[in-house]
């Protein structure tokens, strides 16, 4: 999620003024409990029959890592002071583990989104629903490599480790909360791109919204929009952009509004909270939409092609343009968008 830097903070952290370590530990426990519950809820409610992808595996790994952090916090908070394998654990380690996770999460936004975008750009036109075992293994290896690289960079940078030690030594009753600039810049870029897309095709969006009708299709409630055929390549991509925007905003409009409010208010969100499964699926849908628009002429209209996104159905964005290999729409001159 979006996050802004605190004006009076250094090294991208904000220190909540809590009087006792117990308050900090309990607060972190409650926050992580809510985050883990939300992560697993999103993994449960998403569509099950989707093509495997890098982002899918990364979301699962993030949920598991959050659960491990929650488990560590709960165990340390319960036992308070204990030794394991010759290492003594106290409430100090609750803050230390959270800081390490925050720094790692904060540095992984760019590489994760870049890899996911390249993955969709190269595979969005492929129709194989169940890829070979080699591709699954490849995704797992890439996810593991990204996590290991992130933790290695954080733990092996002397300046970061020394700063953590100094801050925690002289501020035993405070836990600096780190904020990622990467998430903030990604949020700004997404809102700018969405705003530019709406400016380009705002007339088409208004026309479609005014002509919208609710209908039942294949046992689902769908929205029917008017459609005017056009063989011009420029108009083709503009009409497609309009439908992609409606499909995306039809699912994620509250999330887009939430991002705008956060940026407008200048709010900050801790790095260990801002990278979460709902946020990643939001980015995931945006990247899939961009990939569909960039490779619209290469997309094959088959049922397997539309099982890419766990939350957004992009199928009927393409059907009116070329329906040779698909079933006809309910009525001629309409485009159906599943919401």
* pLDDT at site 57: 94
State percent of the chain over pLDDT 90: 27
- In the DSSP assignment, the letter for residue 196 is H
Between 124 and 20, the more confident residue is 124
* pLDDT at site 82: 66
Query: What's the pLDDT tens digit per position in 158-200?
Result: 666 565 665 555 454 567 777 788 888 999 999 999 999 888 8
Q: Which residues contact 209 (CB under 8 A, 6 or more apart)?
A: 246
Q: Which residues contact 15 (CB under 8 A, 6 or more apart)?
A: 9, 171, 174, 175, 176, 177
Largest pairwise CA distance in the chain: 73
Query: What's the pLDDT tens digit per position in 7-63?
Result: 344 334 444 443 455 567 788 888 899 999 999 999 998 877 778 889 999 999 999
Between 90 and 13, the more confident residue is 90
Residue 338 has pLDDT above 50, yes or no: no
Residue 107 has pLDDT above 60, yes or no: yes
The pTM of this model reads: 0.79
Instruction: For residues 52 and 50, give the distance between their C-alpha atoms in angstroms, rounded to a whole number.
Output: 6
* pLDDT at site 212: 64
């Amino acid at each position: 999620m979006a996050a802004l830097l605190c004006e009076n903070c250094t090294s991208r952290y904000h220190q909540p003024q809590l009087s006792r370590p117990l308050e900090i530990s309990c607060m972190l426990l409650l926050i992580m409990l809510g985050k883990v519950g939300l992560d697993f809820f999103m993994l449960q409610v998403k569509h099950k029959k989707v093509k495997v992808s890098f982002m899918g595996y990364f979301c699962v790994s993030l949920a598991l890592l959050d659960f491990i952090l929650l488990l560590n916090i709960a165990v340390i908070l319960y036992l308070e002071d204990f030794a394991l394998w010759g290492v003594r654990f106290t409430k100090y380690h609750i803050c230390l583990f959270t800081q390490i996770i925050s720094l790692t999460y904060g540095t992984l936004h760019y590489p994760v989104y870049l890899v996911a975008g390249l993955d969709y750009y190269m595979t969005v036109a492929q129709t194989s629903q169940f890829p070979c075992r080699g591709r699954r293994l490849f995704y797992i290896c890439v996810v593991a490599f990204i996590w290991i690289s992130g933790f290695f960079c954080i733990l092996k940078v002397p300046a970061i480790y020394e700063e953590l030690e100094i801050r925690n030594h002289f501020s035993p009753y405070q836990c600096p909360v780190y904020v990622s600039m990467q998430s903030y810049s990604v949020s700004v870029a997404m809102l700018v791109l969405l705003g530019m897309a709406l400016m380009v095709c705002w007339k088409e969006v208004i026309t479609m919204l005014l002509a919208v009708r609710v209908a039942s299709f294949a046992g689902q409630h769908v929205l029917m929009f008017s459609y005017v055929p056009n063989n011009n390549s420029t108009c083709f991509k503009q009409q497609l952009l309009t439908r992609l925007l409606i499909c995306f905003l039809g699912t994620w409009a509250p999330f887009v509004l939430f991002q705008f409010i956060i940026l407008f208010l200048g709010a900050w969100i801790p790095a260990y909270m801002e990278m979460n499964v709902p946020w990643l699926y939001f980015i995931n849908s945006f990247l899939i939409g961009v990939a569909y628009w960039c490779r619209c002429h290469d997309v094959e209209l088959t049922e397997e092609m539309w099982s890419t996104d766990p939350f957004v159905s992009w199928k009927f964005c393409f059907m009116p343009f070329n329906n040779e290999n698909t079933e006809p729409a309910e009525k001629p001159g309409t485009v159906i968008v599943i919401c």
